[in-house]
Amino acid sequence: MYTLELLKKPLSSSDLESIWTINQANIPEVGNIDCIKRLIRLIDWSCHLIVVRNEEIVGFIILMRENQSYESLNYEFFNSQGYPFLYVDRIAIKEEHRRKGLGQMIYSKTIEIAKELNLPICCEVNTLPKNEPSLAFHDSFGFEDVGTKDYEDHSVVYLRKSPS
């Protein structure tokens, strides 16, 4: 049975290791985190860290608010828009637990949090290489295209979902 859990800081070393391992297994859909110390910094900038457990952590989402010291160009795109937001920095699920509705479970909780805070949810999805499942997933939740960015090795589309 899968359960959602909002983790409180400080996290246990086993939870950190699990989250880092899941992240690294999901590259390039999510960005590389070169070490646990970097993961801890991301979590420190976050406002919510939600995990899915089934005896062990099998997935997670890291959410951030605006105006953090996070040096991501994608995050900065939303920061430059001048409105408060809830940013999906990354979401990842272990391979053997995919296609079981966990992403929908995590996003439903994220949408609930965004509604409570009256904030739009913002994120980016790779378009080169094209992450078709993620694009379709976000479309099913009503995310709208608000911009694009081409990098040397990949491209992204910026997505936003209103809190209504």
Cα–Cα distance, 55 to 4 (Å, whole number): 12
- Check residue 35 and give its pLDDT: 96
What is the widest separation between alpha-carbon atoms in the chain? 42
- Check residue 164 and give its pLDDT: 78
Mention every residue, 6+ apart, whose C-beta is less than 8 A from residue 141: 107, 111, 161
pLDDT in 10s for each residue of the chain, 164 residues: 899 999 998 899 999 999 999 999 998 888 899 999 999 999 999 999 999 999 899 999 999 999 999 999 999 999 999 999 999 999 999 999 999 999 999 999 999 999 999 999 999 999 998 999 999 999 999 999 999 999 999 999 999 999 97
Whether the CB-CB separation of 115 and 134 falls below 8 Å is answered with: no
Which helix (H) or strand (E) segment is 44 a member of? helix 36-45
